[in-house]
Amino acid sequence: MLSELGHLPMDFLLLAAAVTLASLGFIAGRLRAEQFSFNGDEHPNSRPNAHGYFVLMWSLVPVVLVGLGYTFFGEGTSRAILRSELPAGFSILSPGELTTYIETVARAARMPDFLSGERVFDTVTDRYGEIRGTLNLLTLLLACVLSFGGMVLARRSLSPAFRARQHVESGIEWFLFLCAALAIATTVGIVASLVFESMRFFAEVPVWDFLFGTRWNAQTSAEFGALPLFFGTFMISFLAMVVAAPVGLFAAIYLSEYASGRVRAIIKPLLEILAGIPTVVYGFFALLVIAPTVRTVALWINAQLIAWGLADGALLAAQPTSALAAGIVMGIMVIPFVSSLSDDVIRAVPQSLRDGAFAMGATKSEAIRQVVVPAALPGIIAALLLAVSRAIGETMIVVMAAGQRARISPDPTSDLTTITVQIVSLLTGESEFDSPKTLSAFALGLVLFLVTLVFNLVAITVVKRFREKYE
């Protein structure tokens, strides 16, 4: 009987309980409040609906809390109880084996009418089902009792003078705050884990060696000089901006100053589609199309230089994967960031400035070059900074097209590696989570986070100052 309760669809039941009790609470509160209105001796502080929502709130919160508790701790609690009830004979199993055993039991218990034929296993499974059943039953009872209690208490506190609306609105405020807090708490949690794991790494490798060492060899030997990675990241971001800054800016000027409304309505969304292409698609585009082209061109340049007697040997590395290939494709990827944001800030420059320039006898290009773009410059710089921070954090393209070798080389056709690529290769595959090798990934992540944070902060501040100026 109890073990059958173990198969209750708890999600559905808890949801149903929440809806039912909340509706009941609303009706109870509203009905009570309507009596005040009919008494007529004084004006109630709040409208009947506010009283209804107040009682609803106090009926709903307990169900939600119990439901959350059940979801997070239900399974763990029942397993712990089962483990404590197992007869002494089970002590020959190691803790790991015991966990696996209980896992199997739990899985078996979830199937209705499961019988293995093995007596001990079936008995344990049956017992586990009973524990689950009891827990389910208790949970439902608790939810209903608490909710009902909340409803009764809340209803009792109602009176014509009761400030129900204010209570409901502060309840809503709390709910909204919790949603915001959840996002912040997640961020704080991630940063905290980054910092914590990095501290463990720096306990073994000195910060100085990490930041300024020139030899990176985390996979095979313990060399953690991250400078080549910083260089690689910088190099590829720089190449990306060489592509994205002019193209994006000119596209933005065309869109905001020259394109007619109809052309703009077509081109701008098309440009923004670029931002929607998954970066892994960019990655194989880089690997299969751009990287071989870069290599072919580099080989041709080498051959020409030798043929003309300008060089003795190959000048360019001409690797099959190269910084240039990754940089070009990453530049294409961030064009929409630059163009879309710059277009917005250029359009935010007041028409009166353009009129002023035209009225002085400036041509269109003079007005744009000397008045409009300088006025929009802070916003354009912010757009570029956001694009840079996007490029620094980009992973897929560099994983596929930039190579794996950590080295400092100014030759854009040589392969090199970046912070993000190394993080991926450090954390994939079999590895323990407390070796310096894996911990170094957290230190790299921390550096990456700090750099992009600074870029974003600067960009946001610049944009804000610009907005204040014209509004």
Partner 1 sequence: MDGTRAENAAMGTGVLPDAPDASVRMSCRHINVFYSGKQAIYDVSLNIADRSVTALIGPSGCGKSTFLRCLNRMNDTIEGCRVEGEILMEGKDINSPSIDPVLLRSRVGMVFQKPNPFPKSIYENIAYGPRIHGLAEGREDMDEIVEKSLKRAGLWEEVKDRLTAAGTSLSGGQQQRLCIARAIAVRPEVILMDEPCSALDPIATARIEELIDDLRKRYCIIIVTHSMQQAARVSQRTAFFHLGALVEVGDTDQIFTSPRERRTEDYITGRFG
Decide whether 116 or 370 has the Cβ nearer to partner 1.
370
Between residues 100 and 370, which has the closer beta carbon with respect to partner 1?
A: 370
- Segment near partner 1 (CB under 8 A); pick from 63-71, 80-88, 337-345, 353-361: 353-361
Judge contact between 50 and 162, C-beta under 8 A.
Answer: no
Q: Among residues 167 and 354, whose Cβ is nearest to partner 1?
A: 354
**At closest approach, how far in Å is the CB of 256 from partner 1?**
14
361 binds partner 1 (CB under 8 A): yes
- Over the range 186-206, which residues count as b (16 or more CB within 10 Å of their CB) and which as e? eeeeeeeebeebbeebbeebe
From candidates 353, 381, 408, 427, binder to partner 1 by CB under 8 A: 353
Which of 313, 5, 272 has its CA nearest to residue 138?
5
The answer to whether residue 355 forms part of the interface with partner 1 (CB under 8 A) is: yes
The distance of closest approach from Cβ of residue 363 to partner 1 in the complex, given in angstroms and rounded to an integer, is: 5
**Based on CB atoms, which residue is closest to partner 1, 14 or 345?**
345
Site for partner 1 in 256-275 (CB under 8 A): 260-261
Structure tokens at 54: 């107040």
Can you state the angle between helices 436-470 and 323-348, rounded to 10 degrees? 20
Residue 323 burial class via C-beta count within 10 angstroms: exposed 0-12, middle 13-18, buried 19 and up: buried
State in angstroms the smallest separation of the CB of 457 from partner 1.
24
Q: How far is the CB of 371 from partner 1 (least distance, A)?
A: 5
3 state DSSP class of 439: helix
Using CB under 8 A, pick the residue from 118, 350, 431, 434 that binds partner 1: 350
Segment contacting partner 1 by CB under 8 A, of 48-56, 173-181, 363-371, 444-452:
363-371
Among positions 19, 263, 281, 360, the unique one binding partner 1 when judged by CB under 8 A: 360
| Residue (47 or 264) nearer to partner 1, CB | 264
- Sole binder of partner 1 in the list 28, 357, 448, 451 (CB under 8 A): 357
Q: What is the dihedral of CA 79, 84, 85, 87, to 10 degrees?
A: 120
CB closer to partner 1 out of 83 and 264: 264
Q: Quick check: 344 binds partner 1 (CB under 8 A)?
A: no
* Cα–Cα distance list, 403 to 33, 409, 431 (Å): 71, 13, 22
Applying CB under 8 A, does 356 fall inside the site for partner 1? yes
Q: Is the sign of the CA dihedral 454, 455, 458, 463 positive or negative?
A: negative
What does the alpha-carbon distance between residue 166 and residue 153 come to, in Å, rounded to a whole number? 18
Nearer to partner 1, 382 or 396 (CB): 382
- The residue to which tokens 């966990």 are assigned: 99
Residues 366-405 that bind partner 1 (CB under 8 A): 366, 370-371, 374-375
Which residue, 245 or 373, has its beta carbon nearer to partner 1?
373
- For 202, residues 6+ apart whose C-beta sits below 8 A from its C-beta are 210, 443
- For 59, residues 6+ apart whose C-beta sits below 8 A from its C-beta are 21, 22, 24, 25, 147, 148, 150, 151, 154
The single-letter code of the amino acid at 344 is D
- Which one, 22 or 375, has the nearer CB to partner 1? 375
Helices 119-156 and 48-85 cross at an angle (nearest 10°) of: 160
Shortest reach from residue 264's CB to partner 1, in Å: 12
Selected binder of partner 1 within 137, 362, 408, 458 (CB under 8 A): 362
Q: Residue 142 or residue 362: which is nearer to partner 1 going by CB?
A: 362
Environment class of residue 360 by beta-carbon count within 10 Å: exposed (0-12), middle (13-18) or buried (19+)? exposed
Shortest CB 376 distance to partner 1, Å: 9
Phi-psi region of 361 (alpha: psi -120 to 50; beta: other; left: phi over 0): left
Q: Please report how close the Cβ of residue 354 comes to partner 1 at its closest, in angstroms.
A: 7
Residues in touch with partner 1 (CB under 8 A): 260-261, 350, 352-363, 366, 370-371, 374-375, 469
